[in-house]
A = this chain, B = another copy of it.
Amino acid sequence: MMIVAASRFAPLPGCALPAEGSVTFPMGFRGAGVHAGLKRSRRDVGILVSELPAVSAAFFTRNGAAAAPVRLTRDEGATGALQAVVVNSGNANACTGPQGDADARTMRDLAAELLALPAPQVAVSSTGVIGLPLPMDVIEKGIGKAAAKLADDGGEDFAAAIRTTDRSEKQGALSVAVKGGEVRLGFAAKGAGMISPNMATTLCFVTCDAAVSAADWYAMTAAAVGASFNRITVDGQESTNDMVLALANGASGIRLADSDLERLAEALQAGLLAMALAVVGDGEGATTTVHLRVDGALDDGEAERVARAVAGSPLVKTAVYGRDANWGRIVQSAGMALSPNGCGPLSCDVAFDGVALLRDGVPLALSEAQEAALAEALAAAELDLSVDLHRGAASSHVYFSDLTHDYVRINAGART
Contact = CB atoms under 8 A, between A and B. Distances in A.
Interface residues of A, number: 75
A130 B407 contact: no
A341 B62 contact: yes
Contact of A95 (B62, B314, B328): B328
B96 A363 contact: yes
Contacts of A328: 92, 94-95, 129-131
A164 interface: no
A403 interface: yes
The complex is assembled from copies of this chain, and their number is 2
**Interface residue SS majority, chain A:** loop
A358 interface: yes
Nearest to A71: B344
Interface in A184-209: 193-194, 198
A408 B402 CA distance: 10
A405 B322 CA distance: 13
A198 to B, nearest CB: 8
A169 interface: no
Top 9 nearest A-B pairs (CB, nearest first) are A65-B335, A130-B328, A64-B338, A322-B412, A318-B411, A97-B362, A131-B328, A65-B346, A66-B344
Interface of A: 60, 62-66, 68, 70-71, 92, 94-99, 101, 129-133, 193-194, 198, 235-240, 312-315, 318-319, 321-322, 324, 326-329, 331-338, 341-348, 358, 360-363, 403-405, 407-409, 411-413, 415
